[in-house]
Structure 1
Amino acid sequence: MPLVAIVLAALAVGFEQVLQWRFGTMGIIAFVALTVGIKARNGLLSGIGAVVLVLLLAQPG
């Protein structure tokens, strides 16, 4: 079990670093809003985070 937790934490940190590198601060804010909204079962917050991430991914170039 601890090995799985370490691997998942490493993947999460890696994903956050990719978001930071590719989309900057707004990508991190959107990712945090999405994860906090999902954990808190808050549809509005997770929806906002998801929409912002989609908008960032849909940007040309």
Structure 2
Amino acid sequence: MPAIALLSAVFVVGFEQIVQWQYGPTGIVGLLLLSIGIKAKSPTCSSIGAVVLALTVTGPTL
């Protein structure tokens, strides 16, 4: 069991780093809102996070 928890933690941290590298602080805020909304079972918070992520991904790139 500890190996699965360690692997999932490494995956989550790695995914957050990729999002931050690719989409910057706005991507991290969107990901954070989405994950908090899912864990708290708050549809408003998760919807805001999903919209922020969608706007970040579809927005213009520099």
Aligned residues: 61
Deviations 1:36-57 (A, max 9, x none): 0000000000000011111111
Alpha-carbon RMSD = 0.9
1:1-61 pair list within 5 angstroms: 1-61=1-61
How far has the Cα of 1:60 moved from its partner?
Answer: 4.2
Structure 2, unaligned runs of 5 or more? none
Provide Cα deviations, 1:14-34, integer angstroms capped at 9, x if missing partner: 010011101111111110000
| Ranges in structure 1 where 5+ consecutive residues have no aligned partner | none
Q: 1:59, CA displacement in angstroms?
A: 2.4
TM-score (norm 2): 0.91
Name the SS of the counterpart of 1:24 in structure 2.
helix
Using the TM superposition, give the Cα deviation of residue 58 of structure 1 relative to its aligned residue in structure 2, in angstroms.
1.3
Tell me the distance in 2 between the aligned counterparts of 1:12 and 1:26. 17
1-side partners of 2:27 and 2:60: how far apart? 15
SS in 1 for 2:4: helix
